[in-house]
Amino acid sequence: MIKLILTTIMTSTFILANMNVVVSILPEQTFVKKIGGDKVNVSLMVLPGNSPHTYEPKPSQMKNIAKASLYFAIGVEFENIWLEKFKNLNRNMIVIDLTKDIEKINMASHHHEHDSHKEEAHHEHSSKDPHIWTSPKNVKVIAKNIYLSLAENDPENGLYYKANYENFIEEINILDSKIKNILSKKKSNSKFMVFHPSWGYFARDYNLKQLAIELEGKTPKPKELIMLIKEAKEENISAIFTQPEFSDEVSKVMANELKIEVIKVSPLAKNWEENLLNISNAIAGNH
Ligand code: ZN
């Protein structure tokens, strides 16, 4: 009985207060804030500078889980281990799957055919590409999933969320046109080189090909590196994109060999729109 009363009190308090939600990665925080505005408190799991493939939450972050009503999962690797623990910690928290209605593509593996270790243990990247948010097309679907779940769980602010959602979709449409314009001089299927293969969906959207240095989450062996350098020369690669969450040692060696630039750009940047414009400009050679 006492438990029931307490639950009732807590529930009514939550209706008056902002909704507490948790996201895995920084771009999701940006998306949820676009739609949730000042009606939602967003806390972030994978703190800047860390990789969502290997992240371990800090004890202080567990407190945010304990008071959250929603968790927006986006299918990054650390969720495989932690989501179950989060659910056990807070059984009232609803987990929303933001990958719903998004068709995942396979990880680019064009040079694996040269790899004699094909049968090696399957890594996280051995099947579907988890980096769905690098595609404006996918982010429209993500935005819709966010909007629907906010409106469902906080119907009083439903119209507010709807207006914000519609504005955000309009922003994404404008962003998409800008990117197309920037890349308009690139030939179809132009290749760009990255260390970690985070940009597969972006490449798909804009008819580009991403050439990754890292193979199935591993740094290439010397023999593989020589083949990559050969390929980069043949493809006239003009820069290598690395991200601060990974070491750029190998990229620097390659860039030095190819006499090209290393450009840091993180798919986990907070300013998602500006970030996509930056990488588009860099791919187009406007750097
Ligand atoms: Zn990744």
Distance between Cα 286 and ligand 1 center (Å): 25
Q: Quick one: pLDDT at residue 60? A: 92
Q: Which residues contact 170 (CB under 8 A, 6 or more apart)?
A: none
197 CA → ligand 1 middle, Å: 7
Q: Tell how far the Cα of 235 is from the centroid of ligand 1, in angstroms.
A: 24
How far apart CA 155 and CA 197 sit, in angstroms, is 39
Between the CA of 154 and the centroid of ligand 1 the distance, in Å, is 32
Q: Whole-structure pTM over 0.75, yes or no?
A: yes
List, in order, residues 6 or more apart from 61 with CB less than 8 Å away.
43, 45
Give the distance (Å) from ligand 1 centre to CA of residue 53: 6
Ligand 1 centroid–CA 160 distance in Å is 33
> What are the distances in angstroms from CA 2 to CA 5, 6, 11, 12, 36?
5, 6, 14, 16, 33
pLDDT (tens digit per residue) in 229-260: 999 999 989 889 999 888 889 999 999 999 99
Q: Each residue of 137-172: b (16+ CB within 10 Å) or e?
A: ebbbbbbbbbbbbbbeebeebeebbeebbeebbeeb
Å from CA of 230 to ligand 1 middle: 25
Provide CB contacts within 8 A for 127, sequence distance 6+: 106, 107
| pLDDT at 178 > cutoff 80 | yes
Whole-number Å distance, alpha carbon 153 to ligand 1 midpoint, is 30
Distance 268 CA to ligand 1 centre (A): 9
Q: What is the pLDDT of residues 133-143, one digit of tens each?
A: 999 999 999 99
| Distance (Å, whole) CA 82 – CA 277 | 33
Q: How far is the CA of 262 from the centre of ligand 1 (A)?
A: 18
Tokens of 10: 């807590």
Strand order in the sheet with 40-44: 40-44, 19-23, 70-73, 94-97
Q: How far is the CA of 192 from the centre of ligand 1 (A)?
A: 17
Cβ 145 vs Cβ 169: under 8 Å: no
For position 285, what pLDDT does the model report?
86
Distance from residue 118's CA to the centre of ligand 1 (Å): 20
